[in-house]
Structure formats: C-alpha cells, structure tokens
C-alpha cells in the first residue's frame, strides 16, 4: 500500500546551503546585508515584544553547542549553533548552524534553513546596525583584527551600510589575511594587509575584533585604543573567551544586546557585576543617546542574540516566497484523522 501524498500544511520550506548561496547571489550580497541590517533594526525597535533568555549552552573542552530560542508572540524561532575553534585545524568550520521558524498558533514549522552562511550574514548586519548608531560620523576606515570566516562579511556590511572605503587587515596567520584580501578584490574596497595589529588600527575609526581561540586573550591593549573610535568586539561569545584588555572597558561606553547573556559570555565577563552597560535597543529606539562626543570610545560587546537570528529567519522566509530557492520537506506527520497516527503508519506498508 502506498502512503498518501502529504498535504501542503505538512510540507515545510527548506533552504539548503546551495539554495542559500543562490538566493544571496540572486539578490546581491551587499543588498542582502543592507536589507538584513534594516530588518534586524526593525526588530530591535520592538524589543519588548520578544521572549528573551540567555542561550542554552552545552560546553565542553573542545567547544560549545547552543540553542537560541525566542518568539514575538506570533512566530517562534530557534537556532542550533556550535563553536569549536579546533575544527579549523581539522578542515572543519568553527561555527555551523541551522534554524527553524514556527507558527505560534499551531506550533507547526514554517521554515527550516541552513544558518552557517545566514549567521555570518546576520552577524555582519548586526555589527553594521550597531556601528550606524555608535561609530563616528563619516567613518571611512575599519581595522579587521582576525581574518577568518567572518571577515569579508564584516567588511562588506560596513561598506554597504556605512560607506566604509578602506579595510586594514591583520591576523596571526598571514594565510588568513591573504585569503581575505583576495576575496575582497573587486569589491570596491581599498584593502591593506598589515604585519601587526598595531599597524592595522592606524587611522581606523572602527576596529572590529573577530578571533576564534577559546581563551582569555588580549587582542587589543589599552594603549592601542585612541579617543573617538568605535570597537565591534564580536569574537568573545562564551565564558572564558575574551579579546580586549579590561582597561579598555574601563574607558569605553559599552553597549550590549542582552545583559544577562553578555555578562556571562562577552568582554564584560572580566568586569564587576555592576559594570555599567547600555542595551543597544535603547539607542535604536532613541530612548538613550549612543555616541555623544567626538572623543567618546564606544564598544559594542556583541555575543550574538536570538532576536537577530529571528530577524534573519523571517527575512529569508519573505525572500524565498515565490522563488525556486527552497525545497518542500515532508517534516510533519499529517494523518487524515489527527487521532489516527498509527493508522497512517499502517497504511504506509508496501
């Protein structure tokens, strides 16, 4: 006996890695980054509507596996994501991910998608969104410290959203810097490969740190950071992993996504529990002023938060409608009689 074909309500759109790449090229990567920045900012403006909780993390000596859930009351989302710095030496990605959107009213999934590429895009878009509110006006140069898988996305987001024209690169692995320089050829950016982190930050109004090692590290020391710069610290994302010397934090005005998560995982884990921070959504809505002076050091201590993933997922859901950039997956059991799941199983016998 042949099982009946699944109904439309049992079919879930699935965006594979191949289709995600096709979608991005169809739209254009800089346009994707610009649109995604605006979608994330729109969701930050309605921050109060969302369920918020620190991600559920399972830590090991090798890395971390996390679930990142949230809901705005109508749509629920989660992302599965790992962070394993040792993977690179084995030819594997440091970070991989997939995600899901579901209809709150029925609990039925409405989108399943890869999120390794999408996380890179949303991370860069979030950095650009923060910099749009916190970086010095008219900034033209960004230093990119750490030239791994995220570097090109960060550079292109800053170009597309802020108009950055110059990127200065440094990584302890010269091959990573050469990879990034090569990938940014033809992007319209003026790219300079630097031999030291100190050289990379010369003349930069924005400094982005994005390193992978799971340790307390000092990528930037206090004497390296002059007045008036904006720092995107995006590499620290779990307990025991930082990038900035604590003296920098003592001088900076620090902005975060969700304090209960950032105090565990971000740069501010080095500081006292009462170290003052401002939630970025308050700046986005105009409730709190972000950059107040030309000499102010602003720091976005970004660890990645579930609402940003929610934004990215809803963006993809809208963007794949009416396209060929997804497959329909038979993910939900759909018996003719909702009470007769066993009967559906029996009818599927050959």
Average pLDDT over residues 234-254: 84
Phi and psi, residue 209, nearest 5°:
-110, 130
The lowest-confidence range among 74-78, 93-97, 203-207, 215-219 is: 215-219
User: Which secondary-structure segment (H or E) carries 156?
Assistant: helix 151-162
Query: 3-state class of 115 per DSSP?
Result: coil
Report angle CA 272, 269, 219 to the nearest 5 degrees: 120
Q: 214 pLDDT exceeds 70? A: no
Give the integer Cα–Cα distance in Å for 267 and 314: 29
Q: 266 near 232, Cβ under 8 Å?
A: no
pLDDT in tens, 133-154: 999 999 999 999 999 999 999 9
| pLDDT level of residue 349 (50, 70, 90 thresholds) | confident
> Is 247 among the residues known to form the active site?
no
Q: 317 pLDDT exceeds 90? A: yes
Q: 209 near 219, Cβ under 8 Å?
A: yes
Residue 8's pLDDT is 67
Q: 3 pLDDT exceeds 60? A: no
Tell me the CA end-to-end span of the chain in Å, nearest whole number: 5
Give the integer Cα–Cα distance in Å for 99 and 180: 27
Average pLDDT over residues 27-48: 98
* Token pair in block for residue 141: 């140069």
Q: 1 pLDDT exceeds 80? A: no
Strand partners, 216: 242
Give the integer Cα–Cα distance in Å for 20 and 113: 8
Burial class (CB in 10 A: 0-12, 13-18, 19+), 30: middle
Give the integer Cα–Cα distance in Å for 236 and 20: 27
Residue 237's pLDDT is 64
Catalytic residue of the set 51, 171, 173, 237: 237
Q: How high is the mean pLDDT of the chain?
A: 92
The lowest-confidence range among 65-79, 113-127, 225-239 is: 225-239
Domains contained in the chain, CATH given? 8-117+307-343 (3.30.1780.10), 136-304 (3.40.50.720)
Strand partners, 166: 141, 190
Closest residue by Cα to residue 255 from 163, 133, 161, 137: 133
Sequence-separated (6 or more) residues with CB below 8 Å from residue 339: none
| 312 vs 83, more confident | 312
Could you tell me the CA-to-CA distances from 120 to 29, 114, 127, 205, 332 in Å, in that order? 12, 11, 11, 23, 29
| pLDDT level of residue 7 (50, 70, 90 thresholds) | low
Average pLDDT over residues 150-160: 97
Sequence-separated (6 or more) residues with CB below 8 Å from residue 290: 133, 134, 255, 278, 283, 298
């Amino acid at each position: 006996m042949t099982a009946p074909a699944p109904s439309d309500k049992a079919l879930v759109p699935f965006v594979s890695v191949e289709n995600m790449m096709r979608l991005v090229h169809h739209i254009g990567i800089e346009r994707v980054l610009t649109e995604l920045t605006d979608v994330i900012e729109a969701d930050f403006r309605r921050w109060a509507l969302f369920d918020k909780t620190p991600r559920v993390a399972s830590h090991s000596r090798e890395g971390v596996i996390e679930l990142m859930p949230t809901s705005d009351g109508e749509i629920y989302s989660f992302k599965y994501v790992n962070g394993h710095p040792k993977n690179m030496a084995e030819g594997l990605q440091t970070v991989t991910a997939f995600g899901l959107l579901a209809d709150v009213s029925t609990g039925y999934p409405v989108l399943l998608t890869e999120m390794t590429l999408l996380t890179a895009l949303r991370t860069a878009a979030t950095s650009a969104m923060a910099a749009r509110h916190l970086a010095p006006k008219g900034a033209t140069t960004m230093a990119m410290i750490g030239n791994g898988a995220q570097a090109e996305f960060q550079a292109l987001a800053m170009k597309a959203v802020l108009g950055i024209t110059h990127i200065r690169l440094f990584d302890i692995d010269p091959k990573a810097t050469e990879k990034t320089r090569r990938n940014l050829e033809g992007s319209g950016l003026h790219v300079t490969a630097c031999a030291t982190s100190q050289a990379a930050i010369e003349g930069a109004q924005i400094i982005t740190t994005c390193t992978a090692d799971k340790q307390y590290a000092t990528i930037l020391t206090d004497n390296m950071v002059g007045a008036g710069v904006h720092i995107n610290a995006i590499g620290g994302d779990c307990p025991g992993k930082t990038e900035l010397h604590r003296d920098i934090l003592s001088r900076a005005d620090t902005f975060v996504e969700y304090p209960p998560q950032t105090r565990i995982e971000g740069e501010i884990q080095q500081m006292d529990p009462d170290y003052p921070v401002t939630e970025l959504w308050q700046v986005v809505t105009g409730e709190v002023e972000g950059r107040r002076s030309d000499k102010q050091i602003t720091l976005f201590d970004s660890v990645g938060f579930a609402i940003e993933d929610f934004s990215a997922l809803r963006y993809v859901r809208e963007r794949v409608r009416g396209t060929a950039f997804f497959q329909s997956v038979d993910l939900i059991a759909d018996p003719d009689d909702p009470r007769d799941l066993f009967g559906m199983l029996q009818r599927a016998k050959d």
